[in-house]
């Protein structure tokens, strides 16, 4: 049985991260921006898992658990903020809501 080369797993992570980064910069709807951030977080998780599998250490998987925690906290707060933004501005355009007032 031949294991997956770490290079290939890292290339996969880089490709998915790049797609997510393009999504963050190109999309203006805030829901899509949040989805692209999720894609980027998943790509970094693949890189951590690949490193854990290369060195046979559990540390990489521990960090993926922390990524999961961060992502869930981020999504909860982000989506609540989007609900508030939608209530105030009636849309979710990132350019429309670029002006803030306290």
Partner 1 sequence: MNWYFYASGIVAVIAALMVVTRANAMHALLYLVTLFLAIASVFWTLGAPFLAALQIIIYAGAIMVLFVFVIMMLNIPNEAQRERTWLRSLIWVLPAFLVLILLIQFVVAVGTKGAPAGAVIASKAVGRSLFTEYVIGVELASLLLLAALIAAFHFGVLPERLETSDD
The answer to whether residue 93 forms part of the interface with partner 1 (CB under 8 A) is no
The answer to whether residue 59 forms part of the interface with partner 1 (CB under 8 A) is yes
Question: Which CB, 70 or 96, lies closer to partner 1?
Answer: 70
What's 29's DSSP letter?
B
Instruction: Determine the Cα–Cα distance for residues 28 and 19; give it in Å rounded to an integer.
Output: 15
Task: Annotate each residue in 35-54 with x if it binds partner 1 (CB under 8 A) or - if it does not, as one string.
Answer: xx-xx--x--xx--xx-xx-
Q: Can you tell me which of 7, 28, 66, 89 binds partner 1, judged by CB under 8 A? A: 66
Q: How many angstroms from the chain centroid is the CA of residue 91?
A: 23
Q: How many angstroms from the chain centroid is the CA of residue 69?
A: 12
Task: Report residue 19 as tokens.
Answer: 């797609």
The answer to whether residue 31 forms part of the interface with partner 1 (CB under 8 A) is yes
Q: Is 93 helix (H, G, I), strand (E, B) or coil?
A: strand
The answer to whether residue 14 forms part of the interface with partner 1 (CB under 8 A) is no
């Amino acid at each position: 049985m031949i294991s997956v080369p770490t290079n290939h797993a890292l290339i996969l992570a880089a490709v998915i991260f790049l797609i997510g980064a393009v999504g963050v910069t190109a999309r203006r709807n805030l829901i899509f921006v949040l989805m692209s951030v999720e894609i980027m977080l998943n790509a970094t998780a693949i890189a951590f898992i690949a490193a854990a599998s290369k060195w046979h250490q559990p540390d990489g998987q521990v960090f993926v658990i922390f990524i999961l925690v961060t992502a869930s906290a981020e999504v909860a707060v982000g989506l609540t903020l989007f609900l508030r933004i939608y209530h105030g501005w009636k849309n979710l355009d990132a350019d429309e809501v670029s002006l803030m007032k306290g």
